Amino acid sequence: MNKRTFLKSLGLLTGGLPLISWESKTASFDPTTLQPKAIQKGDLLGLISPSAATADRMQFTYAKEALEALGFKVKLGENLKNRRGHLAGTDEERAADLNAMFADSEVKGIICIRGGSGAARILPLINYELIKQNPKPLMGYSDITALHCAIQSQTGLITFHGPNGTGSWNSFNVKQFDQIFFEKAKVTFKNEMGKGDDLVVKSNRIQTLKPGFSEGKILGGNLTVLTSLSGSPYYPDFTDAILFIEDVGEDPYKMDRMMSTLRLNGTLGKIKGFIFGQCSDCEPGSGYGSLSLDQVLDDYILPLNIPAYTGAMIGHLSKQFIIPVGSRVKMNASAGTFELLDPIFQS
């Protein structure tokens, strides 16, 4: 099964509910961080497609209805339904929709309809000064990692690694969306682990690679997309950051190659903590022997001697954490949790 086929077959995995931390903390807000303006029910959200084209016309309907069910009005990008090969229109068209949504004062937030491939092509065409002047939430995952990285590196704006418009808007995702965007809760992200009829808990188990606590700005996303930006102006500064990564449909030897890139470009030497989500459909292929994914992570992460754990509800899952990329968090690698420390939105 290739990556594109797998992406279309999502919705079979389960996750867990986040907890809310009400503990009062002393804020030490990073002045380089740009907070988005808050959104509320009744606001107008923009729906865009900065990556791959959507082949099934009903997907546009599903995405619009899901956002309306969340309580929003929806504005479709002018080029949302375009197609050029596997892309949702030309680079100029896809970038124009993103820029237009940030420029439109009536649009309060932006949702990407899907990932796929192609977002990196539009990075030089994005108006980052416009984004600085009109900070608003942008959400998506997978290939949308390119936008998270570029916007973070160029503006410092907090964006949201979470469900795409055509993703699974199940009760878990909706509840967490409400907590983050409407309740503005300082969420603690912790996997829900249920054993069902089994003797021991197997679903959504975390593995601690190195116990301990760490605080820092949380950055990352899809590993394939992240490493493809290495050496470009759109690659974030990971100094003292908490790195989170996930992927789908990649053999362990490819994961090894990408982790090697993170070591060679200096990223792994800068971070203070490491969180690995889930690599769906990433088993070794047939033929020559292969390192396991566990071995790959051990080789690159254990020598860092920093708090680290794997198995977080981050990735190509039907239930997934909504992570404010660029926000400050505290992670507990022993418990397999991380929590928000600062307000995400402008007061």
Q: Which sequence positions are flagged as catalytic?
A: 142, 246, 316
DSSP bridge partners of 52: 87
Instruction: Give the 3-state DSSP-derived string for 126-155, with helices as H, strands as E and coil as C.
Output: CCHHHHHHCCCCEEECHHHHHHHHHHHHHH
Nearest to 244 by CA among 320, 168, 343, 135: 320
Cβ neighbours of residue 51 under 8 Å, at least 6 residues apart? Answer: 87, 88, 94, 112, 114, 115, 116, 117, 118, 119, 142, 143, 144
Collapsing DSSP to helix, strand or coil, 268 comes out as: helix
Count CB neighbours of 79 within 10 A.
Answer: 22
Spatial distance between the Cα atoms of 191 and 307, rounded to a whole number of angstroms:
17
8 Å CB contact between 151 and 159: yes
Task: Specify the amino acid at residue 26.
Answer: T
Angle in degrees, 0-180, between the axes of helices 252-264 and 293-301, rounded to the nearest 10:
10
Dihedral (C-alpha) 102, 328, 341, 27: value to the nearest 10 degrees?
Answer: -90
Considering just the CA atoms, what is the radius of gyration of the chain in Å?
19
Kindly provide the residue ranges of all beta strands, DSSP E only, lying in 249-307, ordered along the sequence. Answer: 273-280
Nearest to 3 by CA among 114, 83, 122, 117: 117
Instruction: Give the 3-state DSSP-derived string for 8-44, with helices as H, strands as E and coil as C.
Output: HCCCCCCCCCCEECCCCCCCCCCCCCECCCCCCCCCE
Q: Give φ, ψ of 174 to 5 degrees.
A: -65, -45
